[in-house]
Structure 1
Amino acid sequence: MNVTLLRSLAAISCLSFGCAGSSVSTRPDGGPGPQACSEKALEVMKILQLRPGDSSTAEIDANQTSQQSIIVNDGPVESYLTEDLGPLSPVTRLYGQIWTGGPNVVIRYYEARPPDGEPLPICAVARLGRGGLLKRPGPRPGSAVLEFSRAGIYIVDAFR
């Protein structure tokens, strides 16, 4: 990625993304409620020419890669791209939040960190082929088992 572009985007993001996953309301089933993307994320995605529906693949948990199934927990997650997502190269780190309380696991990403750059605010979700991340009950409350360690990553303009 162009170093000048990265510096410009880093200046826009100013380390204050205003998108902490903990401020999201939850639905009665335990999944997260709707949430707007921050204006900074929308601006950065426009500059990067990332549009809703643009997609890639990622390892869901950087600490549990290439496994048949993984255990995920409510809370922060660090993932990484395994393919390009627009100008974001493989191994770009994605930071977000996991919710296991609803019928499916929900993962929302709020930040991307390219290997050669500063953190960038984004809005993206993890999904499998037909939508949600199907889960099996985890070993304790607030956890779930996912069948695969990889998922599709999709750019969104709001979390619904």
Structure 2
Amino acid sequence: MVSMKATHCPILITLTCLGIGCTGAGVSLRADGSPGPQPCAEKALEAMRILRLRPGDSASIVIDANQSSQSPVSLTDGPVESYLTEELGYLSPLTRLYGQIWTGGPNVMIRYYEARPPDGEPIPLCAVARLGRGGLQKKPDSPPGVALIDHSRAAVFIVDAFR
């Protein structure tokens, strides 16, 4: 198991005290089924400031921890557990990212609301998954209610609001 450096402990303790403040509940949907705009919770923005995570910061992830070596990957609407494969600021590889998947639009949309380091407590954050030219494109032969994508890996990007 990867452990956080000793100098990171005060930061994680501070973040733990902030609590978790962001969820995918109550997100309005666009006509195509993709999620509409959503602000980041103040607790997430504060946690990201403490971690020095800025919009545009990114790292590689495995999209679904249960399908890490599969191709294609089969995704459905609902919760997702991903994990970092490299550092993202103070967050070490294997940090779990928890969020929500929407498959209704032309691309799969994934928003992350929480990170959990391997040896730490949950930390609120706002981030999105992207691949290549911005989107996680569904394969044309995806059955209704399911999005098939070619890759099990993508990038996670820190955001200050979901657009």
Asked whether the two chains share a fold, i.e. TM above 0.5, the reply is: yes
Give the 4+ runs in structure 1 shifted more than 4 A: none
| Alignment partners' CA distance in 1, 2:60 and 2:145 | 25
| Alignment partners' CA distance in 1, 2:108 and 2:59 | 19
| Alignment of 1:3 onto 2:9 | yes
3-state SS of paired residue (1:63): helix
So what's the TM-score if we normalise by structure 2? Answer: 0.92
| Alignment partners' CA distance in 2, 1:122 and 1:94 | 9
| Alignment partners' CA distance in 2, 1:30 and 1:7 | 38
**Residue aligning to 1:157:** 160
**Residue aligning to 1:32:** 35
Shift of 1:152: 0.6
| Alignment of 1:22 onto 2:25 | yes
| Alignment partners' CA distance in 2, 1:147 and 1:72 | 11
Q: Deviations over 1:78-122 (max 9, x none)?
A: 000001111100000000000000010000000000011100000
**Residue aligning to 2:113:** 110
| Alignment partners' CA distance in 2, 1:40 and 1:29 | 30
**Residue aligning to 1:83:** 86
| Alignment of 1:62 onto 2:68 | no
**Residue aligning to 1:126:** 129
RMSD: 1.0
So what's the TM-score if we normalise by structure 1? Answer: 0.94
Shift of 1:77: 0.2
Structure 1, unmatched stretches of 5+, are none
3-state SS of paired residue (2:45): helix
| Alignment partners' CA distance in 2, 1:20 and 1:47 | 20
**Number of positions where the alignment pairs a residue of Structure 1 with one of Structure 2:** 156
Shift of 1:4: 2.0
Q: Which of 83, 95, 99 lines up with 2:98 in the alignment? A: 95
| Alignment partners' CA distance in 2, 1:120 and 1:50 | 12
| Alignment partners' CA distance in 2, 1:132 and 1:91 | 23
**Residue aligning to 2:77:** 74
Structure 2, unmatched stretches of 5+, are none
| Alignment partners' CA distance in 2, 1:22 and 1:69 | 28
